Structure 1
Amino acid sequence: MTDSKVWLITGAGRGMGVDVAQAALAAGNRVVATARDAANVTAAIGEHDDLLAVSLDITDTDSIDAAAKAAIDRFGRIDVLVNNAGNFQAGYFEEMSPEQFRAQMETNFFGPLNVTRAVLPVMRRQRSGHIVTITSTAGIVSGGFGSAYGASKFALEGWMESLREEVAQFGIRVTAVEPGFFRTELLVEGSSTLWPALSIDDYADTAATIDGWKSMNGKQSGDPAKLAASLVKVVELAEAPARWVAGADAVQAVKHKGQTLIDQANAHLDLSTALDHDDDADVD
């Protein structure tokens, strides 16, 4: 049993958020578990003396402020924020409407920013805290049919890198989590996955690609309960990692991307490294 902390978890009405909330409770922590409808949290997790279920929409700043206040009113502090809520806007870039792309950024990128903006003043006053944001392997390695999703997750990665440096002075730790494929509800039809609104003949394989994504549901290799239990251990580490890559498939993908970046940096050194001003040259 570790010292009890207060966790605030978004997207805890289904999927991985439920597993994270249950793992945090099992480790002796107090948990503020949030979802758009708090009833979904209670239905998924049940009643617990150390659990507060709160309604929170990560795109609605009023509901975020109310949830943060409810957490403080009940437990007096917030020690760990887990930005977990999000969705998957699948599709080729040209077949997504501008509204779909913006909605993906609003939820997956600005949503965690909104919640963190409400929680940071609490952690600064405490001079302690840990911000954990669930990004994705797609935040390191994006691919076709994932333009909007990859963009939102890459944006989270860049924000988290900067935020880590900004808030370390206040004793606040920051960790990005990059899961691979886990058996969650992400690919469940009508749940967390949205499909492209437009149709362009040149992308003739769209229907087959959608069927391929749908067929993966329930067959992903990762166990979200194991990820949640390991995440609790990551939060307990004396030195918080900047990134925690979750899943054997994710580790392999991130390692390959790292080597690819090195190879790309070295590919045209003659063109890349001879770009400085020649300060010794004569100036007419």
Structure 2
Amino acid sequence: MENNKVWFVTGASKGLGLTLVKKLLSIGHSVAATSRNLSDLSKAVGEYETFLPLSVDLANEESVESAISRTISKFGQLDVVVNNAGYGMLGALEELSDKEARENFDVNVFGSLNVIRKALPQLRKQQSGHIFNISSIGGFSGNFPGFGIYCATKFAVAGFTESLAAEVKSLGIKATVVEPGYFRTEFLTSGSLAVPNNPIDAYKEVRDSQVAHQNDINNQQPGDPAKGVDVIIAAAESKNAPLHLFLGPDAYHLAKAKIADVQKNMEDWKALATATNFDEVKA
């Protein structure tokens, strides 16, 4: 393993981000990590010479640019960027207001885009680097009642990561979208999972899903965050890093089911759906 890479990790005061930061520091990497609350982050990680805690508003481009600049100033380079910050949103599309939906996009999508925009000049200068964008299996399969807006944000992350990978490949930079299943973090607690301000009783499946996620699934998720971050680190060290990195057997199962459904839809409708070109004019 190459030691002393410089990592920049957002949303690092808890969950997968905190687990990743601790592991990176323990094996000799330098880490700049962000949180909305600097004291929470510093307390959770502890003091390391190779650790730079940063209070950052990811929705503010100047705040993001300052954090990237401070990282480069302290460590002299930037090797791996992990866009991990985000939160869940559980509510039917009709229930969620425009404001609630846009706030989820602001953090989960536009916050990551701000980081990418400000990090790429340094990565282009180096002609090297790797950007990991943390999506979800919900960014590949949207078959989760009540998670439509959240899934939409994570589908967006997957989509722009695919385009990013194509844009920066010739510059020596890699991009990976990470699509985890259920990992045992604080993701389903009230601080990380938003619910509608105005729920509609008619959506039984959504209410059932809300109860299940908040009461039954929370703290019972099968995924071990420590094992999950080991896979991300392995991908960062690999010469053959994946574009899509599914994490967890549940993520693999759901991805395979989605692929099979899409293939069936394509075959069922192939004759009609591919007969859409202009007819050739025969002489």
Matched, 1:268 2:275: no
Unaligned 5+ runs, structure 2: none
Distance apart, 1:80 and its partner CA: 0.1
Aligned residue for 2:106, secondary structure, equals helix
Aligned residues: 281
Equivalent position of 1:236 in the other structure:
237
Equivalent position of 1:245 in the other structure:
246
Distance apart, 1:208 and its partner CA: 3.9
Matched, 1:69 2:69: yes
Distance 2:262 2:112 in 1: 27
8 Å CA contact 1:2, 1:27 repeated in 2: no
Distance apart, 1:219 and its partner CA: 0.5
8 Å CA contact 2:184, 2:221 repeated in 1: yes
Aligned residue for 1:52, secondary structure, equals strand
Change (3 A) 1:242 1:270: same
Distance 1:266 1:245 in 2: 26
Distance 1:141 1:28 in 2: 36
Distance apart, 1:239 and its partner CA: 1.5
CA deviations on 1:207-238 (whole Å, 9 max, x unpaired) are 44322110111000001111112211111001
Distance 1:161 1:234 in 2: 16
Distance apart, 1:33 and its partner CA: 1.1
Equivalent position of 1:49 in the other structure:
49
Aligned residue for 1:99, secondary structure, equals helix
Distance 1:206 1:232 in 2: 35
Distance 1:208 1:257 in 2: 22
Distance apart, 1:198 and its partner CA: 1.8
CA deviations on 1:191-215 (whole Å, 9 max, x unpaired) are 1110012233422565443221101
State which drifts further: 37-46 or 205-214: 205-214
Aligned residue for 2:4, secondary structure, equals coil
CA RMSD in angstroms, aligned pairs only: 1.3
Q: Provide the identity percentage.
A: 37
Aligned residue for 1:95, secondary structure, equals coil
Normalising by the residue count of structure 1, what TM-score does the alignment of the two structures yield?
A: 0.95
Unaligned 5+ runs, structure 1: none
Equivalent position of 1:182 in the other structure:
183
What does 1:150-229 correspond to in 2, within 5 Å?
150-189=151-190, 191-204=191-204, 206-215=206-215, 216-229=217-230
Equivalent position of 2:23 in the other structure:
23
8 Å CA contact 2:145, 2:206 repeated in 1: no
Aligned residue for 1:176, secondary structure, equals strand
Equivalent position of 2:81 in the other structure:
81
Equivalent position of 1:148 in the other structure:
149
Distance 1:184 1:5 in 2: 26
State which drifts further: 104-113 or 199-208: 199-208
Amino acid at match of 1:111: G
Aligned residue for 1:64, secondary structure, equals helix
Distance 1:27 1:177 in 2: 22
8 Å CA contact 1:23, 1:232 repeated in 2: no
Distance apart, 1:281 and its partner CA: 5.3
Change (3 A) 1:132 1:206: closer
Amino acid at match of 1:7: W
8 Å CA contact 2:134, 2:179 repeated in 1: yes
8 Å CA contact 1:2, 1:28 repeated in 2: no
Aligned residue for 2:160, secondary structure, equals helix
